[in-house]
């Protein structure tokens, strides 16, 4: 998979996680609302890459944490993606860490930032 395919795959996956609600009752109808209404609290992490498990049989996945305005922590993850897709994503992360000479956290953080930028620069789509 190339960068464009990875971004598209993850964007579709994350868009599909909404609507999402916080325990305080606040509801995020879209990924865009979530990005605008929460604050990142740490870098995105690939638990498999961080553990050095590049070809695991049971994937732990990636996780991005944000805080709601109430202070509760919310997460977006790769859970729910097909196993084969998650393996392709992990292989891409590995290849990028080697190609760029950076950590897996930096690679997935850059990926997260690019998705956030694209979501925020896309024209606002109103419901039908």
The predicted-structure confidence for 79-121, as pLDDT tens digits, reads as follows 898 988 888 888 999 999 999 999 888 998 899 999 999 999 9
pLDDT given for residue 15 in this prediction:
93
Domain membership flag for residue 71 = yes
DSSP 13: H
Residue pair 22/38 in contact by the 8 Å Cβ criterion:
no
Domain membership flag for residue 128 = no
| Number of domains the chain contains | 1
Q: Per residue in 21-45, pLDDT tens? A: 999 999 999 999 999 999 998 777 7
pLDDT given for residue 128 in this prediction:
43
Q: 65 is written with which tokens?
A: 């944490």
Measuring CA to CA, how many Å separate 73 from each of 32, 76, 124? Answer: 17, 10, 26
pTM score > 0.95 for this model?
no
Range of the domain at 104: 3-120
Helices 83-100, 104-121: crossing angle, 10 deg rounding? 110
Q: Per residue in 44-84, pLDDT tens? A: 777 677 667 667 666 778 888 999 999 999 999 998 989 88
């Amino acid at each position: 998979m190339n960068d464009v395919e990875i971004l598209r795959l993850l964007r579709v996956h994350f868009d599909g996680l909404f609507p999402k609600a916080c325990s305080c009752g606040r509801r995020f109808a879209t990924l865009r609302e979530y990005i605008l209404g929460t604050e990142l609290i740490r870098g995105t992490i690939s638990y498999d890459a961080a553990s050095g498990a590049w070809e695991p049989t049971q994937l732990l996945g990636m996780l991005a944490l944000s805080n709601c305005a109430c202070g509760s922590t919310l997460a977006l993850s790769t859970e729910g993606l097909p196993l084969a897709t998650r393996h392709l994503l992990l292989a891409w992360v590995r290849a990028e860490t080697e190609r760029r000479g950076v950590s897996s956290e930096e690679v997935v953080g850059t990926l997260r930032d690019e998705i956030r930028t694209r979501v925020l620069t896309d024209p606002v789509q109103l419901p039908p």
